[in-house]
């Protein structure tokens, strides 16, 4: 039995789409979840106990967070193909594991797969990079291949697929990631998908409605290090968390950005973006707290206890202080309420 395990955002879905355009596996079981549901290999382990060993493809989820389950699968005789750009820690040395891990700040899983396929489906890789807010990397990958109008379409494909992946649970999403993947399966060309997909039209309407609501919320804190926003505990806010954070980061590329959304259980969902001009520190910050993780440029905390919020803000300030001492000294501002 084969399994395709992928992050529910644009990068994970598109990485899988590229691979399956090159090497179809129609019988593979699809394992995914909302964007922050990354402990996905647990679901596979539970299904291979009484089944023949097969091939497990894992895309865009942290190896470090899935290490024990990965080792269990390898010991069970599975062969594992693993491509990702998040923090991995030590990569197991095992003959059954083929790992392609690159945590570079301008890399996404779609671009890693694009390298392996020698650019066979470059338009999709460009869309994946746009979805991960890697606009410069997307532009480099697209150089000489697409005009401005086509790039705008690829950007919208990536951003809308990414938008669909955010939520606390499947009920927050317009489409479950498996369904979203099936919606793009018929399309070799992302520009055709952009022009013809009814699913994309649904996401476009939802995106514009949700972003209009988010725009009404100014930052609750703004300093020389960055801006922090808070949105209400509503489905629309959880859906828009990623694209809103990315938009704010592009608006002020010199600053770090944080977004806080209360969870239903009273904890806090946190999204962090490092300054686009200095793409580092987001993962280091979030891994200081329970349920935190991600990559250098963009990371998050799934369930921050509210009693740790002040500590989080202090650490945010410390990690993202500007390098210029004069800016650091003179740029401090008070909390905004």
Q: pLDDT tens digits for 11-29?
A: 999 999 999 999 999 999 9
Give the N- to C-terminal CA distance of the chain in Å, as an integer.
55
**pLDDT reading at 297 higher than 60:** yes
**φ and ψ of 57, to 5 deg:** -105, 125
Q: Can you give the pLDDT at residue 50?
A: 63
Given a cut of 90, whether residue 332 has pLDDT beyond it is: no
Q: What percent of the chain has pLDDT over 90?
A: 85
Alpha-carbon torsion (276, 269, 40, 30), positive or negative: negative
How many other C-beta atoms are found inside a 10 Å radius of the C-beta of residue 211? 16
DSSP string computed for 105-166: TT--HHHHHHHHTTTTTHHHHHHHHHHTT-HHHHHHHHTTT--HHHHHHHHHHHHHHHHHT-
pLDDT at 48: 74
Average pLDDT value for the chain: 92
User: Residue 334 has what pLDDT?
Assistant: 33
pTM attached to this predicted model: 0.84
User: 54: pLDDT confidence band, cut at 50, 70 and 90?
Assistant: confident
What per-residue confidence (pLDDT) applies to 91? 96
Kindly report, residue by residue over 162-200, the tens digit of the pLDDT: 999 998 889 999 999 999 999 999 999 999 999 999 999
Rounded distance between C-alpha atoms, residue 246 and residue 273, angstroms: 7
Residue 216: Cβ within 10 Å count: 7
97 three-class SS: strand
Residue 53 confidence (pLDDT): 66
- Show the domains of the chain with their CATH numbers: 3-207 (3.90.1640), 221-330 (3.10.310.30)
- pLDDT for 180 equals 98
Q: Which tokens in the block code for residue 144?
A: 């000489």
pLDDT-derived band at 331 (thresholds 50, 70, 90) equals: very low
326: pLDDT strictly greater than 70: no
pLDDT tens digits, one per residue of 212-270: 999 999 999 999 999 999 999 999 999 999 889 999 999 999 999 999 999 989 999 99
Indicate the pLDDT class of residue 74, thresholds 50, 70 and 90.
Answer: very high
Q: Is the pLDDT of residue 66 over 60?
A: yes
Q: What is the pLDDT of residue 224?
A: 96
**SS (HEC) of 288-323:** CCCCEEECCCEEEEEEECHHHHHHHHHHHHHHCCCC
CB 76 within 8 A of CB 48: yes
With a cut of 70, say whether residue 99 has pLDDT above it.
yes
Give the residue-averaged pLDDT of 303-329: 85
* Helix, strand, coil % in the chain, rounded to nearest 5: 45, 15, 40
The runs of H, that is alpha helices, within 165-295 are: 177-184, 190-196, 198-214, 235-251, 282-286
Residue-level pLDDT at 161: 97
Confidence tier at 103 by pLDDT (50, 70, 90): very high
The stretch 129-136 carries a mean pLDDT of: 94
Going by pLDDT thresholds of 50, 70 and 90, the confidence category of residue 335 is very low
């Amino acid at each position: 039995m084969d399994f395709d395990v992928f992050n529910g955002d644009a990068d994970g879905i598109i990485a899988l789409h590229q691979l399956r355009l090159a090497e179809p596996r129609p019988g593979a079981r699809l394992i995914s979840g909302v964007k922050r549901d990354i402990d996905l290999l647990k679901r596979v382990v539970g299904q291979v106990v009484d089944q023949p060993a097969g091939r497990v493809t894992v895309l865009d989820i942290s190896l470090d967070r899935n290490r024990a389950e990965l080792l269990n699968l390898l010991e069970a005789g599975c062969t594992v193909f693993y491509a990702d750009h998040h923090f991995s820690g030590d990569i197991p040395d095992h003959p059954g594991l083929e790992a392609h891990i690159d945590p570079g700040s301008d890399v996404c899983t779609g671009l890693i797969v694009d390298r392996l396929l020698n650019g066979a489906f470059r338009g999709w890789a460009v869309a994946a990079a746009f979805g991960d807010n890697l606009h410069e990397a997307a532009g480099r990958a697209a150089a000489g291949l697409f005009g401005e109008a086509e790039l705008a379409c690829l950007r919208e494909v990536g951003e809308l697929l990414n938008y669909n992946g955010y939520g606390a649970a499947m009920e927050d999403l317009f489409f479950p990631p498996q369904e979203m993947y099936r919606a793009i399966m018929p399309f070799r060309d992302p520009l055709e998908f952009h022009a013809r997909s009814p699913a994309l039209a649904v996401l476009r309407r939802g995106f514009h409605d949700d972003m209009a609501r988010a725009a009404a919320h100014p930052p609750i804190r703004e300093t020389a290090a960055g801006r922090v926003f808070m949105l209400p505990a509503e489905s629309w806010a959880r859906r828009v968390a990623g694209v809103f954070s990315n938009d704010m980061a592009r608006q002020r590329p010199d600053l770090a950005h944080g977004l806080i959304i209360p969870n239903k259980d009273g904890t806090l969902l946190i999204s962090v973006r490092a300054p686009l001009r200095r793409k580092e520190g987001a993962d280091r910050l979030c891994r200081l707290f329970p349920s935190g993780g991600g990559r250098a440029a963009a990371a998050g905390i799934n369930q921050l206890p509210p009693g740790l919020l002040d500590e989080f803000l202090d650490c945010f300030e410390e990690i993202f202080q500007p390098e210029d001492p004069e800016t650091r000294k003179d740029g401090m501002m008070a909390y905004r309420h």
